[in-house]
Every structure is written in structure tokens, then in C-alpha cells.
């Protein structure tokens, strides 16, 4: 299975900060990468697919980039609603595998 590794595991930031989360794949996955946001007690929500395509309805402060084995999720100006756990997921190869998650918490 392809291993997905996110960094950092926890990120402390303030409202208005620019935040970047990195996701690395154990082998090339082209651009078949998604990012999800999960809040406590809720289902994950799709933010980005195909590495950089913004899901409909997702604020434009979220952006994704990368290809091959290294990817980033950027939040340009962190808002109170953005404090959550973020997961990357590769869907290049079965089984689709997730990163371990990055918790974005209030500084």
C-alpha cells in the first residue's frame, strides 16, 4: 500500500496566519490527491481534489499544489472556522490511503 505522511502532526496558529500542511507519498501518485477537513464529531469534508482543484463551495483561501510525491495544502488567511484536522488521501492506487492527519489548533 502507498504510505501517506503528513507534517506537521499539530500546528498552532492564529487567526489571519498563512498555514501550510505538507503531505508526502511513498511513491508517485501523479496528481491523484485529495484534502479533507474534519471537525470533532463530524464527517470529513472534501476541500481539494486532483491536488489543486477546489471543491465547489469551498472558500478560495484554501489551495492545493504539488504532484508526484510531494503536496501542500495552504490556507491563505486562517479563519476561526478553519480550526480542525486535515487529512490528505491518495487515490492513485487501491486501496486509497490517508495521511495520519494534521491538527490545526488555536495559538
Rounded distance between C-alpha atoms, residue 17 and residue 26, angstroms: 30
Q: Does residue 49 touch another protein according to CB under 8 A?
A: yes
Min CB(14)–another protein separation in Å: 26
SS3 82: helix
28 or 77: CB nearest another protein: 28
Interface with another protein includes 17 (CB under 8 A)? no
Contact between 64 and another protein per CB under 8 A? no
Site residues for another protein, 19-38, by CB under 8 A, read 32, 34, 36
Q: Which residues between 84 and 103 bind another protein (CB under 8 A)?
A: 87, 89, 91, 94-101
Q: Does 40 bind another protein (CB under 8 A)?
A: no
According to the binding rule CB under 8 A, does residue 44 interact with another protein? yes
Q: Which DSSP string do the residues of 18-81 spell out, in sequence order?
A: -EEEEEEESS--TT-EEEEEE-TTS--EEEEETTTEEPTT--TTEEEEEETTEEEEEESS--GG
- Quick one: which of 33, 22, 14, 26 has its CA closest to 77? 14
Give the residues lining the site for another protein (CB under 8 A).
32, 34, 36, 42-46, 49-50, 55, 87, 89, 91, 94-101
Amino acid at each position: 500500500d502507498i504510505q501517506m505522511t503528513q507534517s506537521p502532526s499539530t500546528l498552532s496558529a492564529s487567526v489571519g496566519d498563512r498555514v501550510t500542511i505538507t503531505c508526502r507519498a511513498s511513491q508517485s501518485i501523479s496528481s491523484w490527491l485529495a484534502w479533507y477537513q474534519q471537525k470533532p464529531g463530524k464527517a470529513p469534508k472534501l476541500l481539494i481534489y486532483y491536488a489543486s482543484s477546489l471543491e465547489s463551495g469551498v472558500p478560495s483561501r484554501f489551495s492545493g499544489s504539488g504532484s508526484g510525491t510531494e503536496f501542500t495544502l495552504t490556507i491563505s488567511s486562517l479563519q476561526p472556522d478553519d480550526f480542525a484536522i486535515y487529512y490528505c488521501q491518495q487515490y492513485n492506487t487501491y486501496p486509497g490511503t490517508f495521511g495520519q492527519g494534521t491538527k490545526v489548533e488555536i495559538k
